[in-house]
Structure 1
Amino acid sequence: MIVSSTEVQNNFGKYLMLAAKEEIIITRNGIEFARLQSMEGKLEPILQESIVKETAEPYHFKGRKASYEEFLELTRDDEVNRYEYIDGKIYLLASPTTRHQYAVTEMLVSFHQWFRGEKCTPFVAPFDIHLKRPNFDDPSVVQPDLMVICNLDNHLDERDYYTGVPSLVAEVLSRSTQSNDLVKKLDLYMTTGVNEYWIVNPFNKAVTIYGFKNNEVNNIKTYKHSETALSFLFEGLSVELERIFRP
């Protein structure tokens, strides 16, 4: 199947699922520049770095790969900047925009109200999450915009830092981070035990929810405009899109 990069950007989840059945050829200005395909029964995007390269600026980063120990040393005493460490590379996160924070705040309110009195607790960034891929020596360290943790008491170290895996993670797209959120983090969350991933797009006012099972995409649904996003994992958890996107 051959589709334009604009079409893939607007319907990434749809084409990720289709890639399990056939190779997706992505074009820009009529020229083939990327592929999305399934490898050995597992969905993996095969890209020239990013499907959304034409509209997404890269992460602000240190410009080199680093060991996990180097990442910890860099971030240990830095209380100003926010960093992530994904597959051996350090990223310095840019300051979020107003519409980004508006969406995060409104989602947190909805999540907090729904989970009140339940065993699970919603948290927001900055909050380091260490995720270990199978067959990787070092973990990746990310700061999801919003997450739901259901095993908090059993996964706190002696310094009161969380060491487990969230049940649900949400990322609100930014121009500087959307390529990682759509591709790298999708694969990272899928393969490290996260059960559900929400991608919140304030540019086209849509929410795509992925359900994961056995390190694969099990469910996917995109909500737009005035619809209400519904969780696969937590029956009854919902968010009205008109509330989370700034007018």
Structure 2
Amino acid sequence: MFHQNLLEQILDLPDAPLLIQEVSSKLNEERVRREIFYNEIDESMKVEFINGEIVVHSPVMKRHNQATGLLYKLLDTHCYKYKLGFVGFEKIMTVFTRNDYEPDIVFFGNEKAKDFKEVQTLFPVPDFVVEILSKSTAKNDRGVKFDDYETHKVAEYWIIDPDSEVIEQYLLNEKRYELNLKSSNGTIKSSVIKGFEIPIRAIFDEKLNFETLQDLLK
């Protein structure tokens, strides 16, 4: 609805053709920068392409890394056990219409994952995304990424704050994200990853994570 209203506002302007031409020119320049970006990045870099700009990420704090690792361990074990698809983390470059992101954790169901190659470096829009907040990424995680994931129909999006140890679960409902859960306790159940349900504390507590992992392996 927002995009439709914006388009109508532009078309009402007398200089709409000139404005559209200018936007087209800017986007063409951006496409050139994006190609350069693809050619210059390598596996050692944690980097994204957002609205025409190259965003290089600094090293993460231990609590960020720990939350990522603990959740990835559980997700990957569950998905491997039940052959549900591919779980990636840290440097999986996902390609959207305009931008390229490397979310902290991604999941692709079998429909997408069956065509992946061992040497693949660029991946399609995921079915499920997790972002672990940090001071430098929170604005994008809650802003442009949130909007992009929603627009491109990422069915489930988890935002995790490792400082307050709170998780937010957003589910896509009629093209819009709805907050399904925000908590630091209890359990969380994925809508996309069949059968995946864990204690929220297992994302932050190593001992509970190990116990949960043992349960998953039974």
- TM-score bin, normalised by smaller chain: 0.7 to 0.9
SS in 2 for 1:147: strand
Deviation at 1:98, TM superposition (A): 0.6
Which residues of structure 2 form unaligned runs of 5+? 6-26, 207-218
**What code does the residue aligned with 1:93 have?**
H
Matched, 1:127 2:87: no
Residue 69 (structure 1) aligns with: 32
SS in 1 for 2:59: coil
1:129-175 CA-partner distances (Å, limit 9, x unpaired): 0012xxxxxx2100000010111223x47962344221100000011
Matched, 1:144 2:103: yes
**What code does the residue aligned with 2:70 have?**
E
Greater Cα radius of gyration, structure 1 or 2: 2
* C-alpha distance in 2 between matches for 1:158 and 1:98: 29
Structure number with higher strand proportion = 1
* C-alpha distance in 1 between matches for 2:40 and 2:96: 22
Residue 244 (structure 1) aligns with: 203
Residue 14 (structure 1) aligns with: none
**What code does the residue aligned with 1:172 have?**
I
Task: Provide runs of 4+ in structure 1 moved above 6 Å.
Answer: none
**What code does the residue aligned with 2:201 have?**
E
| Number of equivalences | 180
The 8 Å contact of residues 152 and 162 in structure 1, kept in 2 or not, is answered as no
Matched, 1:184 2:106: no
**What code does the residue aligned with 1:88 have?**
G
The 8 Å contact of residues 196 and 211 in structure 1, kept in 2 or not, is answered as yes
* C-alpha distance in 1 between matches for 2:90 and 2:171: 22
**What code does the residue aligned with 1:72 have?**
E
Residue 160 (structure 1) aligns with: 120
Which residues of structure 1 form unaligned runs of 5+? 1-37, 43-64, 133-138
Deviation at 1:213, TM superposition (A): 3.6
The 8 Å contact of residues 85 and 108 in structure 2, kept in 1 or not, is answered as yes
**What code does the residue aligned with 1:142 have?**
Y
1:90 to 51, 54, 67: 54
Deviation at 1:238, TM superposition (A): 2.1
Residue 101 (structure 1) aligns with: 65
* C-alpha distance in 2 between matches for 1:115 and 1:108: 10
Deviation at 1:40, TM superposition (A): 7.6
* C-alpha distance in 2 between matches for 1:78 and 1:191: 26
1:60-96 CA-partner distances (Å, limit 9, x unpaired): xxxxx97233233245344343221122222111111
RMSD: 2.7
